Amino acid sequence: MKIQAALLLEPNGRFVIEALDLQEPQAGEVLVKLAATGVCHSDWHVATGTTKHPLPCVAGHEGAGVVVAVGRGVTRVKEGDHVVLSWTPDCGECHYCQQGRPNLCETFTSPIWNGVMLDGTPRLSWNGQPVYHYCGTACFAQYTVVPQQSCVPVRRDVPLKVASLVGCAVATGVGAVLYTADVRPAQSVAVYGAGGIGLNIIQAAKLAGAHPIIAVDRTDAKLKIARQFGATHGALPDDALETIRSLTSGRGAEHVFEAVGRPSVQEVALEAVAAGGTLTLVGLAPMNTSTNLSGAAIVRQEKTVRGSYYGTVNPRRDFPMFLDWYAEGRLALDALVTREYRLEQINEAYSAMLTGEVGRGVIIFDD
C-alpha cells in the first residue's frame, strides 16, 4: 500500500514528506493506522546523526493508533484494537525477560537497531529501495507495520492523542521515579530538564509523595508549567545548586533526575545529590559521548548513579495502568499536549522543540 511518511535521507536535520510503499504484515506482525505521535528529542538525534541508524529511515517512536490488519499467528491484538506502540518489544523468553526486565529484551535489540523486522528485512520501501524503521515503530507515517510485541492494547475511551504520549514520555518519566529510583514519600527530588519527560518525572514524584520537588530548566516558561505538574520550587541553572541545597538543609536532594541527555548537565546534577542519594540518568545522550563523574564523590559520599532505560517499565502491564490513572485523574496527560501539528509540519514541530517549546508537540494524522 502507498503511505505518506516523513523520511530521513541523510543526517542533516531535515525530514522530507514522501510516498512510500508499505508491505502487508507478515507472520507475527501488525498493521497499525497511526492517530498521533509525539515529537521527541530522541528522533532528532537520528535526524542529526548523533544516533547512528541505517538510512533512509522513518523515525517516530511515540505513537498510538488502531489495528487495521494482523499477520499469521498474531494473538496479542485484533483488528479494531486501540494500541500504544512500545519501542522495547519483549519476547518473554530471553534472559532479561525471564528476570522481569522486559525493557532490556535481547531478542529485539539487534533487529530494532538495524531498522528491520525479526526476519531481517524492512516492510517499507521507496522507489524500490529499502527504508528502515526507527525503534521498530516508524511512527512518522500514516500507517506502520510492527511486531505484535510492540502493540499494547489500551482502553478505547482515552483519546489516542493522549495515549500516544504513554509510549515514551509518560512511561520513561513516570517509570524512572516509581521503578528505577523507587522514590519514597517525603524524599527530596530535583529534576534537571522540564521537557516532556521531565514533566512526567515531576508528576510521578508528586504521586510518590516526594517533597520538595525542585525543577531546574533554562526557561521561566518551562519552570512555570513544571509547577502545574507538581514542582514545589523552580530554579534556573545558575541558581540550581544553591536553591537545591537551601531547600534540603544544605545536603542536596535525595533523588536527582537528569532528563536532558547532556553530559555537562549530568556532571552538575551529581553535585546536587545528597550523600547517600541517587542520581538517575533518564535523558538520552548522543552516542559516543562520555560523562566525567567524580569517582571520589561517589565513593566517599556513597552516591549512586543509575541509568533508566524506558523507565524500567513493563509496557504490557504499565501502559494500561498509566491510562487508568489518567482516567482517574491521577496523571495529568492532557496538559502535556501544548501544540498539534500535521505530518507535513514536522520540521516546524522540531524547530519549535529546539527553541524551547513547553510541553509536548504531537503530530495528528487524518481520520
Catalytic residues: 40, 42, 45, 61, 168
- Please name the amino acid found at residue 337: V
Is residue 63 within 8 A of residue 167, CB to CB? The reply is: yes
Closest by CA position to 57, among listed 156, 143, 137:
137
Phi and psi angles of residue 178, each rounded to the nearest 5 degrees, phi first? -80, -30
Instruction: Name the residue with cell 516508524.
Output: 138
Distance separating the N- and C-terminal Cα atoms of the chain: 17
- Please name the amino acid found at residue 303: K
Q: How far apart are CA 305 and CA 291, in angstroms?
A: 12
Neighbours of 149 (CB within 10 A): 24
Residues in the chain: 367
Instruction: Name the residue with cell 484494537.
Output: 81
Phi and psi angles of residue 70, each rounded to the nearest 5 degrees, phi first? -130, 150
Closest by CA position to 325, among listed 181, 198, 207, 190:
207
Is residue 286 within 8 A of residue 50, CB to CB? The reply is: yes
